[in-house]
Amino acid sequence: MEKFIIIEIGSTNSKAYLYENDEVIDLGRRTIELKNHYKVANKITDEDKKELFDFVNTNKLEKTYVFGTSIFRNLTNEQQDEWYKEWRENTGLDFTIVTPDMENEFTVYGAVANIDYKDKIAVMIGGGGSTELSIVENGHIIEKANSPFGAMDTTDMFPELRTDKASTDYDTMVKETKKLVNIPKNKADLLILAGGDYIYYYEELNYPVESNKFYKNPLQPYSLDVETMDILDRKFFYETSLDEICKRTNNDGWWRGARGMRLCVKSLADILEAKYIIPTRISMVYGLVEKIKNNEI
């Protein structure tokens, strides 16, 4: 029986998965703020490298595939060459930098495979340093609108989002975030949120979500109307203590970027004129599994 590990390394969050017995098992994730630290040092810092190497070496098997996303696309050719060499020396593994189109393709596969929905549906792949958007119809991507910004960029615009409670007007922040978005031509009533742990957000805040009433898929059990999403997000910005959540969950890095990600979600939902969101934990791992099984990677 085929068995291998897939590790995704993003601008903010890194994730490890085990594929075994036709099942994808989440081995855990670690928040490492690569993009924020890169902006300051103009390189991937030694501290971040050490933490990445530890995360990978803790999870790797003999057959392990590692993929890096947006932060690694921004490295100079010289930095990439240096990174590949240092990576191999410290992990013994290959490292593949995926393009935005590849990330789109792999993640959309996991989002739309085995769902029965006839109308257009949007898939947002939210990250710390990039936001990919695909419009899908009848299982096929009909439009892509990728944007070189993510949660870390919005928190850079509004640093208060990382503090206990926000104070700047919500609509003003959404308006500024929309200026960063590459606008798609198509609209969609449903917006699937992928690339991050959006279910974790609702679970930890004890925010209500409904069962997915549009289609049945074990990876997408919930839905939420955009009006209710908006009310809950405003509560998260202005009424909820971020310091308390970080302490309670022991997940400071993830939560300090969460308000920035919510601005990304709200901006795309408005632009798409979406009526419902589908929060998921789907990442590009499902598309990668298929490629690896078919010896295409």
Residue 232 CA to residue 150 CA, distance in Å, equals 21
Segment 53-71 mean pLDDT: 94
Q: How far apart are CA 13 and CA 29, in angstroms?
A: 7
**Counts for the chain of helices (H) and strands (E), in that order:** 13, 12
Mean pLDDT for the chain overall:
94
Specify the pLDDT at position 297: 82
Element (H, E) at 247: helix 242-249
Question: Using CA atoms, how far apart are residues 190 and 129, in angstroms rounded to an integer?
Answer: 24
In this structure, what DSSP letter does residue 162 have? G
pLDDT at 179: 95
Distance in angstroms (rounded) separating the CA atoms of residues 78 and 267: 35
**Pairing assessment for the beta strands 140-144 and 190-194 based on DSSP bridges:** unpaired
Q: Buried b / exposed e across 249-285, counting CB within 10 Å, b at 16+?
A: eebebbbbbbbbbbbbbbbbbbbbebebbbbbbbbbb
Burial (CB count within 10 angstroms: exposed 0-12, middle 13-18, buried 19+), residue 133: buried
pLDDT of residue 128: 86
The CB density around residue 244, as the number of other CB atoms within 10 Å, is 11
Domains of the chain plus CATH, in order, are: 3-97 (3.30.420.40), 116-279 (3.30.420.150)
CA distance to 24, 42, 96, per residue, from 82 (Å): 32, 14, 14
For residue range 171-181, list pLDDT tens digits in order: 999 999 999 99
Q: Quick one: CA dihedral 46, 47, 50, 55, positive or negative?
A: negative
In the prediction, which pLDDT does 12 show?
86
- Give the pair of three-digit tokens for residue 262: 């919510």
Torsion angle (degrees, nearest 10) of CA 205, 206, 207, 213? 130
Mind giving me the DSSP string for 121-151? Answer: EEEEEE-SS-EEEEEEETTEEEEE--BS--H
CA-CA distance, 10 to 3, in Å (whole number)?
A: 23
Burial of 81 (0-12, 13-18, 19+ CB in 10 A): exposed
Q: pLDDT tens-digit profile of 186-220?
A: 999 999 999 889 999 999 999 999 999 999 999 99
| pLDDT of 256 strictly over 90 | yes
Please give the structure tokens belonging to residue 202. Answer: 């609702």
More confident residue, 5 or 11: 5
pLDDT computed for residue 149 by the predictor:
87
The amino acid at 261: M
Query: 176-204 in b/e burial notation, b at 16+ Cβ within 10 A?
Result: ebbebbeebeeebbbbbbbbbbbbbbbeb
Chain segment 89-138, per-residue pLDDT in tens = 999 999 999 998 888 889 999 999 888 898 999 999 998 888 999 999 98
**What's residue 108's pLDDT?**
92
